[in-house]
Structure 1
Amino acid sequence: KVTVTLNSSKILTEGKIVLRNGDYRSYLKVKGYGTTLPAKDISKSSVYKGGNDSDFNKTFTPGSKGYTLEFRVKTDEAEKCFYPYFVNEKGHGFKAYITSTEIGIHNVSKKGISNPATAGKEGGLGKFYNNDGKAHTYRIAVTPDNRAFIYRDGMPIDSVRIIDYAPQPYFASGIGKPVENLLKNPGFEGEFDTNPDSKLVTAVEGWDVVISDRWNSEQYIKPEEIDNLQDIDNHIFEIKPYKWAAGWSDGILMQVVDVAPNETYTLSALLKGGIAKKAGTPTGKMIIEEAQNKEKKVVTEIASDNWEMYSMDYTTSADCKQLRISFTVGRGKWGNDIGAVRVDNAKLTGVSCNYTPKFGFVDNTADIEYFAIDESGAYAPMQPTITINLPSK
């Protein structure tokens, strides 16, 4: 008996059940449909009742049905910025930013959010005009599957997997125990997003596709049989330089991990490719570097077009808080013959960090009317409506 449970809050989740006996395989496609979030006004549940403090944080207990954060802030001038954040007991969360003209999420770099009211429409710019002299209400509803639904003034503007975003250095509350694998989605069997036009992967669960420019590098999640256990239903990550343009950066897949100082970590992965064919030189790399000091790092070159297990150790410095784990392929010139780097079975072994669920804001220069939380579930805001009354004849 096989029981399938829908845990995703996406509108549509598709997958397949694989039944295998030796070389006999049978597949059953499954679909799951998400439902709309219930609406609830949480503005009266404020824990910060207004002001312009620089920093604020408070612990909370995430509920089994999710949780909801809401804040109303004014960022109507260029120097006014608001940086809210939250993190759960597993270290999953993110730091957002709201300025006079932008809304987005911090990662290794920044992910901007476009205004869906005008983005992609003829003549539209997709901009937010927070410089209109008014305060605006923002909501982040986090569901049990770690997806955040983001709203501005009642309008849904984005939804993201919070597991994709790099933790901030102040998220960890202490040093944990040794863990066999600290990486998220190490075998690339999790969710991924693709561009419907180019078919290129734009996001991979738990990882950051750093260069989102198809004229520089192309990346895919592909099925690949490696052995009898990792058969044709196994998935790998592939990244390669774009052939018909001069690249401006190496192609990079990255994940940031919270670590302890003065501890030794071991990174291993199954890798192949990245060889410039005519020259016979390797361009692919596996890299460990300290997030707070990029000069402190170790690098291993990928030296074969056949699958091989690579491994290297790194001892963190006395002030190290985070490591960046990267798999890269060299940038190419026009007409380059650099092969794709392929990655599977990534593993980072070492001492973990502990987390106390908390939320708040840092480095604030905005005017805050309130900051509220509801720990009982993930809720949508009450939807505003426009009513048109036409005069009767």
Structure 2
Amino acid sequence: MAACSIEDVLAKVERDEAEKLKSITVQKELDLEFDAGNLLALDKNRIDVSDFKQQKKDDFLRSLARDNTQLLINEIWKHPTERVEEVIVVKLPEPTTVLPREKPAPKPRPPTKWEEFAKLKGIQKKKKTNLVWDEVHKEWRRRWGYKRAKDGTKEWLIEVPENADPNEDQFAKRNKEKKERVAKNEFNRLRNIARAQKLKVPGVGLPPASQQSKTELAQAVNIAKISTASVGKFQDSLPKEKAPRNTGKRRKFQPVIGDFADEKQKQLDILKIMDSKKPRLDITKAVNKQMREEDMEAAAKRRKESARKGRRGHMSGRGKGSAPGKGKGKAAKGKGRNPRAKQGKH
């Protein structure tokens, strides 16, 4: 057995390590096209069919992906670098390749009411530290949240104010005020969302006023009536209570699954109207409308003629009755005599 020296062993180990660790230099016939902003590399070199057939498909594809990735990494490190928290990072340029996306890009969030007011008044937001010194516990605590500094809800003793009721529960009062603050913040958040989406903010009931009109009281009663789990369906009505006005109508939608023949006919009618250049005329409806107009004109004409005849007859009656001792009065006396009585005298 031939003796091996230490130098030969070390040289063999170096060769084995060099074979395992490939060089960062990769040779390509055509240079790759890079888009460092998108971390994209385009390889336009043709694939050698003989090498693809001689090697295994997985080994060939793995080797090709490794070389292209190495070239992409080399291209990335050509850009300027900086150190951020003991880590070296690369400043990537703006992407040049337009990539498709499923949905449109999100729009910027509209400013809230406070942000608009701060911008108008020039108020700048100051960043506060997360930890503050708590004098009671003599330690650093969070400014907000769990185990925060100066937490008033953890006090076991509360001083009763001078103008407060001595029998009032201050702990219950504190919890109630906290719930009201949370509800108010949530309402303001929802109102900001509705205002940003240009939606109508729902009412919050009847606002307090010194004098309330009948309409406002009716609106308050209606709001209280529908503020139940059944939306007022099983709420009893008061005696002589009128139905609420201006409550709106519910939109009626066609069923999702229904008569397909009817739906097909409606779509065909719409297409027929859209394709026709002349406006569509409903002959039956037009004839009925014309007949109604003629009947209304004839009725109005008859009413005018009857009113004119009534005025003439009224005027002639007043003329005959103006002289009660003449004309018709004498004739009535002559007609009232008995002709037989005159013959009996002779």
TM-score of the alignment, normalized to the shorter chain, above 0.5:
no
Higher-Rg member (1/2): 2
TM-score range, shorter chain: under 0.3
Give me the TM-score of the superposition, normalised by structure 2.
0.17
Specify which structure has the higher proportion of helix.
Answer: 2
For CA contacts below 8 A with separation 6 or more, give which structure has more relative contact order.
1
Specify which structure has the higher proportion of strand.
Answer: 1
